Amino acid sequence: MIAIPSMSGRNIAVLGLGKSGMAAARALIHSGAHVLAWDDDETCRNCARAEDMPLADLMDEDFSDMAALVLSPGIPHTFPEPHPVVTRAQAANCEIIGETELLSRAGTGAAFISVTGTNGKSTTTALIGHILDQAGRSARTGGNLGVPSVALDEPGPGGYYVLEMSSYQLELVSTLVFDIAVLLNISPDHTDRHDGLKGYMSAKERVFAGQGASHTAVIGIDDAHSRGLFENLKASGDALTIPVSGADRAAGGVYVENGWLVNDIEGREERVMEMTTATALPGSHNAQNAAAAFAATRAVGLAMPQIRDGIHSFPGLPHRQEPVARINGVAFINDSKATNAAATARALYCYDHIIWIAGGQAKEGGIELLTPYFGRIRHAFLIGEAADAFSRTLQGKVDATLCDDLEGAFAGAYEMAMAQAAEEPEASGKASDAPVVLFSPACASFDQWRNFEARGDAFRTLVHKRAGIDVNLADGPAPGPDSKETTP
């Protein structure tokens, strides 16, 4: 467990005892801090009690004697209104930080690589960590992806922390400057928490805060918001600023053109690899992810062959267009990580004949932006709070069935897919003609599950039950795009 010497003997409050908060509290106790922890949820408090975590209702504590309040990222501290405990801490001029800031104060000597963006950040974070590992570099990967930052093992001097950072987490970083910061894209998300798109963008831009001449900023330019940020940072910032694109030429950066990943950081426009050979990274959105990972790992000094080998061998991530199984030629794809319409658009673009399972707790804007992809959908099975609204959007464009739950939706999708596979047999010889059952909700999971991972696990279990022992789960990835496809 990480030790944070600067916290030894100090009074530290921890608010929120989920995965992140518990990791922070454990690290602080291990570091010799005097911890007072609290969560408004009794179930979380009981879990903390099981570990003998020192609990105290922070509404009753004197924050003038606290060195810091470590806040879990899901707890509001600005908009729509601060949590009452946060208000008390602010009134006492108590520092408010997150657990990633704690890690930065541990003094491990490791470099920090951060990845943020509305979509693609988990895949890109994992891909960077994988490339570094395959190249023999010491890297620890986590943050918003998997293991909380402060719970990661030390990579040692000369090693790397590769961290996925959400907008919530970036707001709780105060002194940490990322050696390499990656911003993939920006589209409206979490606007209720950030007082609109402008506030959300401001939170994302914090990934570049404090960067100077010794740092690197990698920025996707495939959307107008990120492209504008790149132009501003390029003009006014001191960091090496590298543009990346999954669809268009990016002079001085890394991009995909005619299906080839191209490195132009050194001004030589060198072809690196054909993206179709990276089977775990289908679609132009993953092309941008690969370009960003190339730029980040090139910035730490890896050679092009090392990076290419790492991209080739990347196995992909669960819940991100994860091929679960093929049954009678039908691919079943778990894309539970698609918690908004922009993420689902990327999945819809990759397949031609889709039986779509969607719904949950809707994000702002619903699924209107998916209209260009409705022609790829043969039928939609809708679940959750968003089902009625999604049905209205699809009316007259895509046939849809409203279902009580995921199990019912899957049963309907499975039956339809098997019938369509029988009607459209392998006679065409084209994988793209086979149905794909795509679970890409375009919604948050919280109306029915604790998180998108639990939701994806539920879908995977349903597929496995249908697959039985006769199905080869290593049958290969589902049909994906060819090299001519462009960003949706």
At 19-49, the pLDDT tens digits run 999 999 999 999 999 999 999 999 999 999 9
CATH (one of 3.40.190.10, 3.40.1190.10, 1.10.30.50, 3.40.50.720) for 104-313: 3.40.1190.10
Q: Which long-range contacts (CB under 8 A, 24 or more apart) does 86-90 make?
A: 86/15, 88/58, 88/59, 88/61, 88/63, 89/13, 89/63
Phi, psi angles (nearest 5°) of residue 152: -75, 145
**Residue ranges covered by each domain of the chain:** 5-97, 104-313, 322-467
- Supply 168's token pair: 């919530």
DSSP structural state of residue 447: T
Task: Write out pLDDT tens, residues 397-408.
Answer: 999 999 999 999
What is the value of pTM for the model shown? 0.80
Report d(CA 291, CA 190) in Å as an integer.
26
Mean per-residue pLDDT of the chain: 91
Report d(CA 441, CA 257) in Å as an integer.
30
- Supply 392's token pair: 């209205």
Amino acid letter at 344? T
If one counts every other C-beta atom within 10 angstroms of the C-beta of residue 312, the result is 14
How many angstroms separate the most distant Cα atoms in the chain? 75
Least reliable range by pLDDT among 48-62, 238-252, 276-290: 276-290
pLDDT of residue 464: 95
CATH (one of 3.20.10.10, 3.30.70.270, 3.40.50.620, 3.40.50.720) for 5-97: 3.40.50.720
Do domains 104-313 and 322-467 share one topology? The answer is no
Task: Write out pLDDT tens, residues 75-104.
Answer: 988 888 999 999 999 999 999 999 999 999
CATH (one of 2.40.50.100, 3.90.230.10, 3.90.190.20, 3.40.140.10) for 322-467: 3.90.190.20
Cβ–Cβ < 8 Å for 158, 138 = yes
- Supply 113's token pair: 């690589």
